[in-house]
Structure 1
Amino acid sequence: MEWHQIPLGLLQTNCYIVSKEDNTCLIFDPGEEGDKLSSFILENKLSPLAIILTHAHFDHIGAVEEIRETFNIPVYIHENEADWLIDPSQNGSQLFEIGKLVKGNRADYVLTNEKELKIGDFSFQIAETPGHSPGSLSFYFKEAGFVISGDALFSGSIGRTDLPGGNHAQLLKSIHEQLLILPEETIVLSGHGPATTIGQEMDSNPFLNGF
C-alpha cells in the first residue's frame, strides 16, 4: 500500500491518495484543483473507489463534485457535517469569501458510529476526532502504519478551534484519546503541511504539553 500527498488550492490542503498494487485507490479530501488531481490519477493509471472526507470545511471539499462525477464514485462523510457539503454558510466558503461558494450534492454514505470501514480490498479504522470541527474523523491504516488526521493534528501544531463548531478542549481530548494512543512510529498525514509521527508530536508539540 502506498500513500501520495497532493497539496491543492490556495491553502495547499493536502489531498491523500491511498493505493494498492492493483492500482485501486481511495481519495481523501479533494480540496480544490480537480483537474490537477484527475491528471495525477489518470497518469498513474489508478482506479478510484471512493472519496472520503476527514471533515467538510471548504478547503477540503472544493473538488468533491468534479472528482465524484469524473470517476463515478461515492462520497463518505460524518453525520455531524452531512449538511456542510450543500451549505456554504456551514462549510466556511461564505464566511471567508473565497471568491466562490462551495456547494455540492449530499454524500452517498453518512458515517455515524462506525469503527472500521471496508471499501474494496481496503480496510481501515475510523476514529472520531472532533474539536477542529464537530464531524472531524481520522483514518488509521494499521498494517501500513499511518493515520490520516485531517486538521486535528499537525507537525508541531493542532487544528484551529475558533471557527463555528470548534472546541479547543474537545480537540485536545480527541488527540490524546484517539491519536496519541497509536504506536509512536505511526506516520501522521495532516491536512496541511508535512507528515510527522505520533512519537515526534508527543515529544515536541508545544500544544500538547501540560494537557
Structure 2
Amino acid sequence: MKWKQIPLGLLQTNCYIVYNENNSCLIVDPGDNPKKLSTVIEQLELKPEAIVLTHAHFDHIGAVDRIRDKYGIKVYIHEKEKDWLSDPALNGSKHFMLNEPIKVRAADHLINDEGVMSIGSFKFEVFETPGHSPGSISIYFSDAEFVLAGDALFNGGIGRTDLPGGNHNQLIRSIDEKLMSLPEQTEVLPGHGPTTPLV
C-alpha cells in the first residue's frame, strides 16, 4: 500500500491518494483544484474507487463533486456531518473570504460506527475522532502502518476547536484514546502540513 500527499487550495489542505499494487486508489479529502488532483491520478495511472472524507469542512470537500463525477465514484462521510456538505454555515465556507460558498451533493454512503471497513479492494479501520468537528474520523491502514488523521493531529500541534461543533476536551480524548493507542511506529498523515511519527 502506498500513498501520495497533494496539498490543495488556499489553505493547502492535504488530499491523499492511497493506492495498491493493482493501481486502484482511494481519494481522501479532495479539497480543491480538481484539475491538479486528476493530473496526479492520471500520471500515476490509477483507477479511483471512492472518495472518503475525514470531515466536512470546506477546505476538505471543495472538489468532491467534480472528482466524483469525473470518475463515477461514491462518496463516504460520517453520518454526523452528512448535512454539512450542502450547508455553508456548517462547513465553514460562509465565514471565510471565498468567491462563493461551498455546497456539495449528498454523500452516497454514511459511516455510522467504528471498526473495519472495506471499499472495493481496500480494507482499513475507522476510528471516530471528534473534537475538531463532531463527525471527524481517522482512517488506519494497519499493514502499511499509517493513519489519515484529518485535522485531529498535526506535526507539532492539534486541530482547532473554535469552529461549529468543536470541543477541545473531546479532541484531546480522541487523540489520547484512539490515535495514541496505535502502534508507535504508525505514521500520521494530517490534514495540513508535513507527516509526523506518532511518538
TM-score past 0.5 threshold? yes
Aligned pairs for 1:22-61 within 5 A: 22-61=22-61
Distance 1:72 1:193 in 2: 29
Name structure 2 gaps, 5 residues minimum: none
Deviations, residues 118-138 of structure 1 (Å, cap 9, x unaligned): 012210000000000000000
Deviation at 1:97, TM superposition (A): 3.0
Distance 2:67 2:122 in 1: 19
For 1:99 and 1:116, locate their aligned partners in 2 and report how far apart those are by CA, in whole Å: 39
- Tell me by how many angstroms 1:179 deviates: 0.2
Aligned residue identity for 1:100: E
Instruction: Return the letter of the residue paired with 1:183.
Output: P
Look up the SS of the partner of 1:11 in the other structure.
coil
Number of corresponding residues: 199
CA contact (8 A) 2:114 2:128 kept: no
Shift of 1:100: 1.5
* Structure 1, gaps ≥5 residues long: 200-211
Q: Indicate whether 1:109 and 2:109 are aligned.
A: yes
| Residue aligned with 1:131, SS | coil
Matched, 1:191 2:191: yes
Root-mean-square deviation (CA, aligned residues, Å) is 0.7
Matched, 1:153 2:134: no
CA distance in structure 2 between the aligned counterparts of 1:166 and 1:150, rounded to whole angstroms? 14
* 2: CA distance, partners of 1:57 / 1:97: 14
**TM superposition outliers: structure 1 runs of 4+ over 3 Å:** none
Q: Distance in 1 between matches of 2:100 and 2:137?
A: 26
TM-score by length of 2: 0.99
Letter paired with 1:76: Y
- Cα distance in structure 2, aligned partners of 1:161 and 1:6: 24
